[in-house]
């Protein structure tokens, strides 16, 4: 550590940007509330934590580097199937399953990143969409391996650390998902305040200027895309492990679109946007589908339209604007 008296003002300023705020601490404490207030909803809470991790991974490339993807579920699905197959054919120990899933999804991300880093805008959206559809059809047609539309059978997960069984109530599931989410959130938080995080924001803010300051933007994009893919793979693996099943839905276009909607709802490029978006989206789905199972996207559609029209930076962006105005008064 640098002694405090030698820290310059600009350095202090940059340090202050990554300081934990009271709101943040309150947010993470609140994630423990479901254990006490909604013990019947722990399975839902676990799904929310997993989706939030998935949204966080998309935020890294979309919110920070400005790389739009409509096929991010490919990596979620690769992670989901990798964890399922690993438990079926090797062993059911969950942590090693997560690592294998991260490795495979990361490799897939690294391989495709060479194409991704060359394009922007509509071309990029279509490319990621195409790659996502490819991944889906590969999973669909490899019936012998993935079980195709029947889903992967025979996923058996050992108790966590050999002690905590994945119970019906979701105690273990939520604890596990939340812990993994928090861990990766810490890593991601570190990353966005790092020199690399600054470079990603530079890419988002002005791709033309980057080479003029000597930056190899494509290498940065490849790295970010690989990390995002690995984290998405972890999220997919968590879903497989906590539900002891892997389905085609995990690698579908629907999932890619949903996570994009969540991120836009919550607010991209601010870490918590994906988390808030996932919470709102998943709870809305749970509640609305209870009212009218076939039409619940109607409400999501309305919510999305209202948010993008009134709050261009998502719910968090809107909130921070209101807060800024209020604190100025």
Per-residue binding string, other proteins, 1-30, x by CB under 8 A, is: -x---xxx-xxxxxx-xx------------
Question: Quick one: which segment of 117-125, 208-216, 247-255, 302-310 binds other proteins (CB under 8 A)?
Answer: 208-216
For residue 310, give both structure tokens.
């009134």
Contacts (CB under 8 A) with other proteins, residues 97-126:
none
Binding residue for other proteins, selected from 208, 291, 309, 310, defined by CB under 8 A: 208
Distances (CA, A) of 166 to 62, 239, 244, 282: 33, 12, 9, 21
Contacts (CB under 8 A) with other proteins, residues 216-235:
216-217, 219-220, 223, 227
Question: Quick one: which segment of 151-159, 171-179, 211-219, 295-303 binds other proteins (CB under 8 A)?
Answer: 211-219
Shortest Å distance, C-beta 182 to other proteins: 17
Binding residue for other proteins, selected from 109, 170, 197, 233, defined by CB under 8 A: 197
Nearer to other proteins, 191 or 303 (CB): 191
Distance linking the first and last C-alpha atoms of the chain: 38
Binding residue for other proteins, selected from 199, 228, 229, 230, defined by CB under 8 A: 199
**Cα 78 from Cα 158, distance rounded (Å):** 21
Nearer to other proteins, 60 or 173 (CB): 60
Question: Quick one: which segment of 90-98, 146-154, 198-206, 257-265 binds other proteins (CB under 8 A)?
Answer: 198-206
**Cα 59 from Cα 266, distance rounded (Å):** 10
Measured in residues, the chain has a length of 329
Q: How many CB atoms lie within 10 A of CB 188?
A: 22
Nearer to other proteins, 18 or 254 (CB): 18
Q: Is 186 in the site for other proteins (CB under 8 A)?
A: no
User: Using alpha carbons only, what angle is made at residue 226 by residues 223 and 229, rounded to the nearest 5 degrees?
Assistant: 150
Q: Which residues of 268-287 are buried (b: 16+ CB within 10 A; e: fewer)?
A: bbbbbbbbbbbbbbbebbee
Nearer to other proteins, 11 or 153 (CB): 11
For residue 53, give both structure tokens.
């991790």
Question: What is the biggest distance separating any 2 CA atoms in the chain, rounded to whole angstroms?
Answer: 65
Q: Is 290 in the site for other proteins (CB under 8 A)?
A: no
**Cα 70 from Cα 62, distance rounded (Å):** 10
Helix, strand, coil abundance in the chain, percent, nearest 5: 75, 0, 20
Q: Is 212 in the site for other proteins (CB under 8 A)?
A: yes
Shortest Å distance, C-beta 219 to other proteins: 7
- List residues near other proteins by CB under 8 A: 2, 6-8, 10-15, 17-18, 190-191, 193-199, 201-202, 204-206, 208-217, 219-220, 223, 227
């Amino acid at each position: 550590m640098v002694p405090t008296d030698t820290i310059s003002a600009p350095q202090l300023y940059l340090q202050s940007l990554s300081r934990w705020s009271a709101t943040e601490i309150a947010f993470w404490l609140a994630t423990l509330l479901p254990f006490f207030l909604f013990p019947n909803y722990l399975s839902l809470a676990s799904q929310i934590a997993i989706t939030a991790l998935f949204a966080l991974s998309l935020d890294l490339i979309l919110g920070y580097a400005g790389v739009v993807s409509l096929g991010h579920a490919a990596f979620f699905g690769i992670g989901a199937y990798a964890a399922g197959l690993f438990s079926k054919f090797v062993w059911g120990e969950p942590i090693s399953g997560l690592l294998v899933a991260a490795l495979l999804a990361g490799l897939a991300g690294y391989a495709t990143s060479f194409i991704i880093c060359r394009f922007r805008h509509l071309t990029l959206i279509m490319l990621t969409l195409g790659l996502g559809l490819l991944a889906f059809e590969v999973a669909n047609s490899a019936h012998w391996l993935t079980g195709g539309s029947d889903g992967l059978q025979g996923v058996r997960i050992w108790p966590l650390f050999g002690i905590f069984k994945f119970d019906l109530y979701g105690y273990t599931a939520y604890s596990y998902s939340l812990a993994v989410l928090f861990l990766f959130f810490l890593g991601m938080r570190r990353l966005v305040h790092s020199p690399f995080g600054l470079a990603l924001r530079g890419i988002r803010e002005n791709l033309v200027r980057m080479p003029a300051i000597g930056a190899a933007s494509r290498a940065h994009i490849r790295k970010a895309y690989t990390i995002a893919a690995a984290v998405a793979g972890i999220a997919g693996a968590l879903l497989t492990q906590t539900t002891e099943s892997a389905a085609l839905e995990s690698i579908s276009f629907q999932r890619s679109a949903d996570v994009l909607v969540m991120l836009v709802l919550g607010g991209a490029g601010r870490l918590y946007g994906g988390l808030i978006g996932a919470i709102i989206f998943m709870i809305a789905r749970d509640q609305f589908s209870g009212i009218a199972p076939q039409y619940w996207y109607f409400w999501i559609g309305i919510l999305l339209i209202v948010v993008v029209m009134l709050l261009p930076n998502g719910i968090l962006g809107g909130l921070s604007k209101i807060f800024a105005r209020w604190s100025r008064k």
